[in-house]
Amino acid sequence: MAAVHRDPDGPAVRGPLTVASARREMMAAAPRLTPEAIAVGGAAVGRVLAEPVIASVLLPPFPNSAMDGYAVRVSDIPKVPWRLPVAGEMAAGMAPGAVALLPGSCAKVMTGAPLPTGADAVVPYEWTDRGTTEVLIHERPRRNNAVRRAGEDVSPGQQVLAAGHRIRPTDLAPLAASGAAVLQVGRRPRVALLTTGDEIRAAGSDLMPGQIFDTAGPALEGLVAAAGGELSFRGRVGDDPGKVREVLLRAAAMSDVVVTVGGVSLGDHDHVRAIVEELGGLQFWRVAMRPGRPIAFGELAGAVFVGLPGNPVSACVTFILFGAPTLLAMQGSARPEPPTVYAELLEEIAKPEGLETFHRAALRPRPGKLPGVRLTGNQSSGATISLARADCLLVLPARGARVARGAVLEVIPLI
């Protein structure tokens, strides 16, 4: 962790910061985790490469056919239609050189099979009468038609994927093809998730007057997993300072990152911020944004501390903007920030002056144009239905109190 700046006359906090500067500070301060080995396979999806993957093989290892057809010398087909005798067959799995093409003849060849020695093109079945002893060719191929050249995909020593790349399912094919069996990846951050407040109860509980379900917690569990983290601790605690302190210490002892929901604002029962100051320190508190202005970041008994607001939408939005990039940075991701695209606003929107604002919205595809974007309903930080209907966060700039219809804005897709 970066050093925490302490003010002798008050808490070690600064702010409010911009969203971009707060995120940069968090990603820079969070420690990089020690790499570990993992096999190439489904479990590698979502992991971040700690070192580049270098091919150890030639791919394809030999010239081979890209289609079922007939291997030919183009010079043996002076015009079309033209007949050639079929003098052999090359199937996938046969050794290169097992069939040599006789002058003035052709050989059947299957997709993926080595090209017969002497051939320089493949005539697809569709261009012929599919003869067995001789074949009538209706279309003359060019040299190298339907031929995969040796090494055209990968050569030994070539970089397949760079360090910092987050592995996708589609990456597994080139990884396996290049000869990689084991990868070095950033370790998954161990994340403690703690929801606070006397009123919070687990889903399915019988609610007493004044109580509510733990709404943010389940969503954050999913968001932690999506960012590559693994839950090492999951708890709920009321507003008793002693119990909050005890649970925070226990959570930090078994985790790389402690994420709390609630307790970091200015309410009489918001104890988390003061306890974190006692046990570690805050690097900043408050960001110039809505929803989610009271977000805290610092160190707690050796663990990274991320304090999210208590309202469920605020907690989710701030985790997407700050928590997930921090977890990805700890794994060594080269691109930990949320990806953005552009869309045209389909309605005029009012917003608070001076605060960058993140609204729940839905994209509308428009052929030949930028996609349109429209709000999905109530934007209150406690309204979760509009979050369920959203497929993106609409980013409204800090300057100005209204954004006109037709404005081209950034949006953050929600996966």
- Paired tokens of 189: 């951050």
Spans in the chain with pLDDT lower than 50 = 2-12
Q: Domain 64-148's class?
A: mainly beta
DSSP-H helix ranges across 117-212 = 172-177
> According to CATH, what is the number of the domain 341-413?
2.40.340.10
At which residue do the structure tokens 């079945």 appear?
A: 125
Compute the distance between CA of residue 380 and CA of residue 355 in angstroms, rounded to an integer: 15
Backbone angles phi, psi at 201, to 5 degrees: -135, 150
Asked if residue 403 lies in contact with residue 349, where contact means CB atoms within 8 angstroms, the answer is yes
CA distances 414 to 12, 164, 312, 385, Å, are 34, 22, 16, 15
At which residue do the structure tokens 């999913």 appear?
A: 222
- Paired tokens of 32: 């990089």
Compute the distance between CA of residue 288 and CA of residue 301 in angstroms, rounded to an integer: 27
CA distances 267 to 10, 184, 262, 264, 293, Å, are 17, 45, 10, 8, 14
pLDDT digits (tens, 9 = 90+) for 105-126: 999 999 999 999 999 999 999 9
DSSP-H helix ranges across 31-186 = 172-177
User: Which residues are within 8 A (CB) of 116 and not within 5 positions of it... i.e. 6 or more apart?
Assistant: 71, 88, 90, 99, 100, 101, 107, 109
Compute the distance between CA of residue 300 and CA of residue 290 in angstroms, rounded to an integer: 26
Phi-psi region of 267 (alpha: psi -120 to 50; beta: other; left: phi over 0): beta
At which residue do the structure tokens 């109190």 appear?
A: 401
Compute the distance between CA of residue 349 and CA of residue 396 in angstroms, rounded to an integer: 9
CATH architecture of the domain formed by 37-59+160-186 = Alpha-Beta Complex (3.90)
Q: Where are the domains of the chain?
A: 19-33+187-330, 37-59+160-186, 64-148, 341-413
Compute the distance between CA of residue 352 and CA of residue 192 in angstroms, rounded to an integer: 33
- Paired tokens of 81: 């239609």
For residue 393, which of 303, 298, 300, 313 has the smallest C-alpha distance? 313
CA distances 160 to 39, 175, 176, 179, Å, are 16, 7, 10, 10
Compute the distance between CA of residue 35 and CA of residue 239 in angstroms, rounded to an integer: 38
β-strand partners of 412 = 393
Compute the distance between CA of residue 152 and CA of residue 357 in angstroms, rounded to an integer: 48
β-strand partners of 313 = none
State residue 226's pLDDT score: 96
> According to CATH, what is the number of the domain 19-33+187-330?
3.40.980.10
Virtual torsion, Cα 264, 265, 270, 275, nearest 10 deg: 40
DSSP-H helix ranges across 241-347 = 241-253, 272-279, 312-318, 324-330
Compute the distance between CA of residue 323 and CA of residue 8 in angstroms, rounded to an integer: 29
Backbone angles phi, psi at 96, to 5 degrees: -55, 140
Compute the distance between CA of residue 82 and CA of residue 72 in angstroms, rounded to an integer: 12
